[in-house]
Amino acid sequence: MKKIGTALAVLVIVMLVVLAAFFLIGYLRPKSAGLLIQTNPSATVFIDGEEVGKTPYEGTRAPGEVVIKLVPISTDKPLVPYETRLTLSSKIQTTINRDLAESEEASAGETVSFERVGGAEAPLAIVAIPDSAQVSLDGQLRGFAPYKTTSFPAGDHEITVAAPAFLERSVKVRTIKGYKLTLVVKLAPSGQAPEPTPTFEEVQVSMVEILATPTGFLRVRATPATGGEVVAEVKPGEKFRYLETDEATGWFKIEYQKGKEGWVSNQYAKKIEAQTNEETPP
């Protein structure tokens, strides 16, 4: 009986060691990165020179830098391939959408990629072709590409990029805390004669910039008073469309979301007349 008991104990120990080893291997192994590629028309997908399938393509890869090439499948017209280099992040899906055309200039699309930066913010960087295209976030004009902000709320958003004589593109994205989202947008020519590019002053006369606060945020209220109902919270560094100033308190009325208005204290906000795009490129 003693020998049987010893054998069982050894067996249990061995099983525990094996389980622990499997757990450690799984824990230390880098988590896969997701990749989604969609094209119009369909294309053959090459990753680092290896053919992996056709679009629509969805799969997982080891995190790190990859070279992706999309070769249009034979059509009536010869279309140019598309190639890009990007970095895949662990447990995050990188997305490529591409409208293939007879020339690179006539093509269009966007790439959404992520880079882990840590922290509680969800930084956002937008690059556009052509340069200086207008950038709107959730329906509110924010400036011109290249555009960068470090104080963007995590969650679902819609980004619209537009330029004279080019077809507008809107992209739905989900920003994640601790990850910088980079959106690269290529616009296709509309075929119409270009019009003079409006300046930021022509598009938006005045803005209100939120200043530093002791709490790290500023409450937006339904009325221009500290006792007013709180309708939203905004963060230092963010800029919003200016609507009016309350003569009694000096508070500013802003459009904090498209179609939504509220008041912020002028103690922690400043009005910027005829603002130009002051964001730095990514």
pLDDT per residue over 140-195, tens digit each?
A: 888 888 888 887 788 899 999 999 999 999 999 999 888 999 999 999 998 765 55
Please indicate, yes or no, whether residues 37 and 110 belong to a single structural domain of this protein. yes
Please indicate, yes or no, whether residues 263 and 124 belong to a single structural domain of this protein. no
Please indicate, yes or no, whether residues 120 and 45 belong to a single structural domain of this protein. yes
Please indicate, yes or no, whether residues 176 and 213 belong to a single structural domain of this protein. no
Cα(66)–Cα(37) distance, rounded to whole angstroms?
14
Contacts of 14 (CB under 8 A, 6+ apart): none
Cα(129)–Cα(187) distance, rounded to whole angstroms?
6
Helix (H, G, I), strand (E, B) or coil at 253: strand
| Residue 14: its H or E element | helix 2-28
Q: Which pair of tokens denotes residue 65?
A: 């830098």
Please indicate, yes or no, whether residues 174 and 235 belong to a single structural domain of this protein. no
Cα(271)–Cα(278) distance, rounded to whole angstroms?
14
Task: Name the pLDDT band for 26 (thresholds 50, 70, 90).
Answer: very low
**What is the DSSP code (8-state) at residue 163?**
-
Please indicate, yes or no, whether residues 264 and 217 belong to a single structural domain of this protein. yes
Q: Point out the domain boundary residue: 162, 190, 218.
A: 190
The CATH number for 269's domain is: 2.30.30.40
Pairing status of strand 252-257 against strand 239-245: antiparallel
Report yes or no on 233 lying in a domain: yes
Cα(233)–Cα(219) distance, rounded to whole angstroms?
5
Helix (H, G, I), strand (E, B) or coil at 275: coil
Please indicate, yes or no, whether residues 133 and 215 belong to a single structural domain of this protein. no
Report yes or no on 23 lying in a domain: no
Report yes or no on 177 lying in a domain: yes
Spatial CA neighbour of 68 closest among 40, 92, 39? 39
| Residue 33: its H or E element | strand 33-40
Please indicate, yes or no, whether residues 154 and 118 belong to a single structural domain of this protein. yes
The CATH number for 123's domain is: 2.60.40.1120
pLDDT tens digits, 266-282 = 999 999 876 444 443 33
Report yes or no on 280 lying in a domain: no
Please indicate, yes or no, whether residues 83 and 212 belong to a single structural domain of this protein. no
Q: Is the pTM of this model over 0.75?
A: no
Q: Point out the domain boundary residue: 144, 159, 190.
A: 190
Spatial CA neighbour of 237 closest among 206, 214, 213? 213
Report yes or no on 56 lying in a domain: yes
Please indicate, yes or no, whether residues 138 and 222 belong to a single structural domain of this protein. no
pLDDT tens digits, 68-96 = 999 999 777 889 999 999 888 888 889 99
Q: Which domain holds residue 97?
A: 33-190
| Number of separate domains in the chain | 2
Q: What does each C-alpha distance from 277 to 31, 57, 144, 234, 281 come to in angstroms?
A: 39, 37, 7, 19, 11
Please indicate, yes or no, whether residues 79 and 146 belong to a single structural domain of this protein. yes
Please indicate, yes or no, whether residues 50 and 172 belong to a single structural domain of this protein. yes
